[in-house]
Amino acid sequence: METITGVTFPVPKEYMSRFFEEGKTVFIKPATVYKEVKPGLKLVFYQSHEDTGYVGEATIENVELSEDPFSFFDTYGDAIFLTQEEVKAYFEIQEKWKSVRVKKGERKKKKWIALTLTDIKKYPEIQKPDLFVPVGGKYLKE
């Protein structure tokens, strides 16, 4: 039986330096692949949009879920790799495309995940994954 050793999510190249050079230690995103994510697993950074591939990794120290991603800023402040303005812009795009789930006439809020990271390291060279990494991310198994 395969064991989950980590998780990977695509992050646009323009944001990668925030982890490796600017010292950001909190990764937030809509909670897609999350039910098996726990402290001790690896987060492997998949660089998307340009020069794609695995570019680094970190150890997940803490996992937190919330229906309000802005609450993470109260807890983690500027340790988060995105700004509040970038999260707001994400919501505006989602509203434009009406991707918020509607169930029985009322909107269901999507959960967001915050991963507190330690031991963040950049790989010397980009590593190409064996399989495609979907937008929602995927578990890494051995």
Residue 118 pLDDT > 80, yes or no? yes
CATH code of the region 4-141:
2.30.130.30
Q: Structure pTM? A: 0.89
| Domain residue limits, the chain | 4-141
> Residue 109: CB partners within 8 Å, gap ≥ 6?
67, 68, 100
pLDDT > 70 fraction of the chain, expressed in percent and rounded: 90
Confirm if 62 and 117 have CB atoms less than 8 A apart.
Answer: no
Cβ neighbourhood burial of 86 (10 Å; 0-12, 13-18, 19+): exposed
Determine how β-strand 42-48 pairs with β-strand 4-12.
Answer: parallel
> Residue 105: CB partners within 8 Å, gap ≥ 6?
none
Residue 99 pLDDT > 50, yes or no? no
User: In the predicted model, what is the mean pLDDT of residues 64-87?
Assistant: 96
At 41 the pLDDT is 97
At 92 the pLDDT is 80
**Mean confidence (pLDDT) of the chain:** 90
Residue type, 98: K
Residue 3 exposure: Cα atoms within 13 Å on the Cβ side: 4
Integer Cα distance of 130 and 116 in angstroms: 27
Neighbours of 101 (CB within 10 A): 10
Convert the pLDDT of each residue in 11-65 to its tens digit: 999 999 999 999 999 999 999 888 999 999 999 999 999 999 999 999 999 999 9
At 26 the pLDDT is 98
